[in-house]
């Protein structure tokens, strides 16, 4: 700002008045200041200005596992749409499923005085957010709940969706159904495993823990699961993928497996309907998840002070062919 003042031949206070659209500046003086600003490429620090005024910074923070994952890309886009309608921008970061990285991002966003935080949690320790929440920064968790604090949460029906997947495969005549999920440290993985167990009981099937695998979904891990679960005389005749990444790895691993097992994926994914056979999924509206979480966050930003809410969004079976393969 001092450079602008020198070039325009005015005081720093005059530059400040022009930048902040304050009155009492002569039009010719204002014209010189604007010309100097344009010549120097000056940009005012909105964050600093808003901190001085104690007003909104015009931003919210969003922390997801991986912005490169299509699931989280769609989630991010839904949050952006709602944020734009409220005149806010979104700062987004990837935790890489690392709780330390999640904490680092959350506190960095808070240091930048975001108006609120949306978090897909990577860990189970969130007490570090309590001072920020007490200071007035609203926080909404989505897709997974917070670990050790009570906060607004928006989830999908992980339990009911997996129960429906088991029921669907049982209706096709399958009696040995396998489940391949994500890491057991992840809430959605353990909830979907719980749904798998309950689904087996409801369908009159004996739950066999040897048919359930929870591991980080790498191609190597999924190949190992396929070798163990889907080959040999006591093999499973159907498999439920715990999420879309597991499903993609399973499809690669199943290329040379005969006879082909039935497959149901929890989560839809791009081109799933164009494969041969098309992939049956437990689908849910990712955009709706992001929209619901963002709307709840902005309700808090605008003063809603009701007790923390837990919202569970429905899922639905989309039969396309892979889940209808007979045993």
The SS3 call for residue 122 is coil
Residue 50 binned pLDDT confidence (cut-offs 50, 70, 90): very low
The full set of domain ranges for the chain reads: 2-44, 58-156+286-313, 158-283
Contacts of residue 247, defined as CB under 8 A and 6 or more positions apart, other chains included, come to 241, 263, 265, 267, 269, 272, 279, 281
What mean pLDDT is reported for the chain? 91
Task: Over range 270-291, report the average pLDDT.
Answer: 96
d(Cα 241, Cα 249) in Å, to the nearest integer?
Answer: 9
| Domain 58-156+286-313 and domain 158-283 have a common topology | yes
| Amino acid 43: pLDDT | 55
Distance of alpha carbon 303 from its chain centroid, rounded? 24
How would you label 181-190 residue by residue, b for 16+ Cβ within 10 Å and e otherwise?
bbeeebbbbb
Query: What are the pLDDT digits (tens) for 133-146?
Result: 998 999 999 999 99
**Which comes out higher in pLDDT, residue 20 or 302?**
302
d(Cα 78, Cα 207) in Å, to the nearest integer?
Answer: 38
**Which comes out higher in pLDDT, residue 6 or 273?**
273
Task: Over range 82-110, report the average pLDDT.
Answer: 95
Task: Over range 149-172, report the average pLDDT.
Answer: 97
Q: What is the DSSP string of 269-326?
A: -TTGGGSSSPPEEEE--HHHHHHHHHHHHHHHHTT--PPP-EEEE--EEE--SGGG--
Whole-prediction pTM value?
0.80
| Amino acid 51: pLDDT | 46
Contact 254, 39 (CB under 8 A): no
What is the CATH number that goes with domain 2-44?
Answer: 1.10.260.40
Task: Over range 235-245, report the average pLDDT.
Answer: 96
Contacts of residue 1, defined as CB under 8 A and 6 or more positions apart, other chains included, come to 12, 15, 16, 19, 42
**Which comes out higher in pLDDT, residue 287 or 47?**
287
d(Cα 215, Cα 220) in Å, to the nearest integer?
Answer: 10
Q: What proportion of the chain, given as a percentage, has pLDDT over 70?
A: 95
Q: What is the DSSP string of 44-109?
A: --HHHHHHHHT---SEEEEEES-TTSHHHHHHHHHHHHHHHHTT-EEEEEE-TT-HHHHHHHHHHH
Contact 63, 51 (CB under 8 A): no
**Which comes out higher in pLDDT, residue 147 or 120?**
120
Dihedral sign for Cα 98, 216, 172, 269, please. Answer: positive
Residue 3 Cα distances to 11, 17, 48, 238, 318, angstroms: 10, 15, 18, 70, 63
Query: What are the pLDDT digits (tens) for 69-91?
Result: 889 999 999 999 999 999 999 99
d(Cα 162, Cα 282) in Å, to the nearest integer?
Answer: 8
| Amino acid 105: pLDDT | 96
| Amino acid 116: pLDDT | 96
| Amino acid 56: pLDDT | 67
Class of the 158-283 domain? Answer: alpha beta
d(Cα 30, Cα 246) in Å, to the nearest integer?
Answer: 61
What is the CATH number that goes with domain 58-156+286-313?
Answer: 3.40.50.2300
d(Cα 92, Cα 19) in Å, to the nearest integer?
Answer: 29
pLDDT at position 54 over 70: no
């Amino acid at each position: 700002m001092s450079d602008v003042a020198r070039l325009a031949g005015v005081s720093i206070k005059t530059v400040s008045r022009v930048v902040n659209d304050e009155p009492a500046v002569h039009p010719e003086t204002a014209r010189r200041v604007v010309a100097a600003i344009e010549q120097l490429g000056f940009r005012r620090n909105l964050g600093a200005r808003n901190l001085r005024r104690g007003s909104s910074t015009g931003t919210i923070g969003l922390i997801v596992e991986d912005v490169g994952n299509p699931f989280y890309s769609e989630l991010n886009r839904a949050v952006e749409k709602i944020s734009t309608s409220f005149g806010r921008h979104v700062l987004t970061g990837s935790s890489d499923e690392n709780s330390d990285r999640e904490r680092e991002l959350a506190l960095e966003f808070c240091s930048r005085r975001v108006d609120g935080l949306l978090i897909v949690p990577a860990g189970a320790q969130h007490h570090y957010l309590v001072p920020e929440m007490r200071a007035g920064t609203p926080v909404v968790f989505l897709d997974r709940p917070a670990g050790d604090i009570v906060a607004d949460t928006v989830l999908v029906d992980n339990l009911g969706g997996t129960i429906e997947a088991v029921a669907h495969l049982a209706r096709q005549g399958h009696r040995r159904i396998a489940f391949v999920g994500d890491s057991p440290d992840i809430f959605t993985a353990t909830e979907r495993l719980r749904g798998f167990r309950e689904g087996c009981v409801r369908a009159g099937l004996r739950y066999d823990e040897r048919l359930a695998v929870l591991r980080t979904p790498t191609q190597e891990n999924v190949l190992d699961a396929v070798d163990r679960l889907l080959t040999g005389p006591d093999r499973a005749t159907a498999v439920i993928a715990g999420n879309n990444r597991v499903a993609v790895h399973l499809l690669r691993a199943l290329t040379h497996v005969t006879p082909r097992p039935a497959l149901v994926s929890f989560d839809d994914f791009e081109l799933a309907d164009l494969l041969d056979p098309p992939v049956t999924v437990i689908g849910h509206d990712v955009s709706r998840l992001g929209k619901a979480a963002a709307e709840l966050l902005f309700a808090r930003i605008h003063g809603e002070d009701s007790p923390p809410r837990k919202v569970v969004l429905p899922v639905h079976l989309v039969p396309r062919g892979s889940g209808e393969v007979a045993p």
